[in-house]
Structure 1
Amino acid sequence: MTDPLVWREPVQEAWIDYNGHLSEPYYVLVFGHATDNVMDAVGLGPDHRAAHDSSLYTVEAHVRYLDEVSAGADLEVRSSVVGATGKLLWIWHEMWVDGRLRATEEVLGVHVVGRGSAPFPDDVAEKALALLVEPPEEASGRIRPLRRP
């Protein structure tokens, strides 16, 4: 089994809401940073994006807020590729703090070149497939399982 990709960053003071916890939009911001980390791992990093006018656009996302996150926490997001087609990538993120799962996000992204969807380059598709694992039981089921391109 492929180990998850890991993204780490600390909670910023500006991200704390009036209840003293990580505010909702910042979970999504951190998951976005973790998605960028996955993009780097499959070959869609900044250099590739600039050279090919391409990116991964989110077309669907589902977040589960499972436990609060306090100020000063160190966040660890574990990310896995759980589905892929010729131009779609399904990513599963888990946010952990102090050994406890705090939130999850599943993201469906489409590869875009210019302003339209396009197949992944062969090398990107190969890297995505190399990272592919089965989706977890707790995935929402709203994003239909994707398989190999």
Structure 2
Amino acid sequence: MTEPLPLLRDTVRPEWIDYNGHMSEAFYVLVFGYATDAMMIETGLHAGYRDSTGCSLYTVEAHIRYLRDVAEGAPLAVRTRILGADAKKARFTHELYVVDQPDAPLASDAEPVATTELLALHVDQQAGRAAPFPDEIRARLVALTEPAPDWAGRSIAKVTGLQAK
């Protein structure tokens, strides 16, 4: 494994606050989207790549856990982990943390305020279907692969015991 991906940093903006006085669920997704964009840049799937190849990463499944309320002005850090990649797919997670200061390191005992697990396909936008990653990008994703956190891979039905009828 190479060095982990850098943390994404942001701050909770006033317009992200909902009627309950804390960060609205849509903005957790926005911050996770920013983290996906940062991961794409770090792994070579940046705007230049998209322009030259017509390919991009499309999220096809996501599972979000909202664990704690987040207040306006809170400095945020997002840790991204690549859990695996094959010819056309990548599985990764983002963990959202509130930190003491905007550039503060992430404490080893920090607990996330929200998490998401995502499955994404590498898509040829012209053809409208999944396409293999170039070897160098797949190799970078594989090199970044880390063990899955305990919470990854769970479904809502497994966690709650509630099944559809």
Q: Could you tell me the TM-score, scaled by structure 2's length?
A: 0.82
Q: Higher strand fraction: Structure 1 or Structure 2?
A: 1
CA RMSD, aligned part only? 1.3
- Rounded to whole Å, the distance in 2 between the matches of 1:5 and 1:55 is 21
Map of 2:133 onto structure 1: 120
Distance 1:53 1:123 in 2: 17
SS state at 1:55 partner: strand
Q: Which amino acid aligns with 2:124?
A: V
- Provide the identity percentage: 44
1:104 is matched with which residue? Answer: 115
Identify unmatched segments of 5+ residues in structure 2.
100-109, 156-165
Amino acid at match of 1:26: F
Over 2 Å off, 4+ runs: 1-5
TM-score, structure 1 length as denominator? 0.90
Secondary structure in 1 matching 2:7: strand
- Residues 41 and 127 in structure 1, CA contact (< 8 A), matched pair in contact too: no
Instruction: Return the letter of the residue paired with 1:79.
Output: T
Change (3 A) 1:86 1:3: same
Contact 1:5 1:80 in 2 (8 A): no
Per the TM alignment, residue 135 of structure 1 is displaced from its structure 2 partner at its CA by 0.8
**AA matched with 1:32:** G
Rg larger for: 2
Give yes or no for the alignment of 1:26 onto 2:39: no
What is the CA distance between 1:3 and its match in structure 2?
2.6
Aligned residues: 142
Residue 72 of structure 1 deviates from its aligned partner by 0.5
Which SS does the other structure have where 1:101 is aligned?
coil
Report how far residue 42 of structure 1 moved: 1.2
